[in-house]
Amino acid sequence: MDAIAFTFSRPETTSAVTRGAARLLGATGYAPLLEVSLPNGRRADIMALGRRGEILIVEVKSSVEDFRVDRKWRDYLEYCDRFAFAVAPEFPRDILPDEPGLIVADSFDGAMLREAVADPVSGPRRKAITLAFGRLAAMRAIAASGVST
């Protein structure tokens, strides 16, 4: 029998990688939130808060084209202690820069292939980001519960 080749659209790939990366982060002690707006107008695909308050931002790249046209990833660095890319297993990882961390994920799970180097944010900025993160998480929990505010 011939092997069946599966091809996913860009939105399906983004969804699968995001899900697997978020599951990995949750399993490693981070509390991830998806699509978090930052004060500079950018939107982080995943922002995660660690057990000791460390802030990780993950940028999901669904294709080579997505990576090549979207050069805004450096705009996230001032809002996190660590930054990583998350890509699908078939993504050509050699085109990614060496500095950020690297997560390879599918819709079920992920693996951290390269740890993100720590570059801590300042105390006042950490406090502001952490408060905004907590408020966003609480508002999303209320909305998901069906309670109107």
- Identify the residue with better confidence: 4 or 56: 56
3: in domain: no
- Indicate the pTM of the whole model: 0.90
137: in domain: yes
| CA pair distance 39, 43, nearest whole angstrom | 9
Full residue range of the structural domain in which residue 49 is found: 10-145
Which CATH number is 116's domain given?
3.40.1350
Assign 129 to helix, strand or coil: helix
Q: What are phi and psi of 11, to 5 degrees?
A: -60, -35
Tracing tokens 């998350």 back to the chain, one arrives at: 86
Assign 86 to helix, strand or coil: strand
| CA pair distance 14, 120, nearest whole angstrom | 28
The two three-digit tokens of residue 105, written as one number: 């994920």
- Give the number of other CB atoms < 10 A from CB of residue 98: 7
65: in domain: yes
**pLDDT (tens digit, 9 = 90+) per residue, 11-66?**
899 999 999 999 999 999 999 999 999 999 999 999 999 999 999 999 999 999 99
1: in domain: no
4: in domain: no
What pLDDT is recorded for position 147?
83
**pLDDT (tens digit, 9 = 90+) per residue, 85-114?**
999 999 999 999 999 999 999 999 999 999
Residues 6+ apart with CB under 8 A from 35: 43, 44, 45
The two three-digit tokens of residue 21, written as one number: 């990366």
Domains in the chain, number: 1
Please give the sequence-ordered ranges of beta strands (E in DSSP) within the chain, or none if there are none. Answer: 31-37, 43-49, 55-61, 82-87, 101-105, 110-114
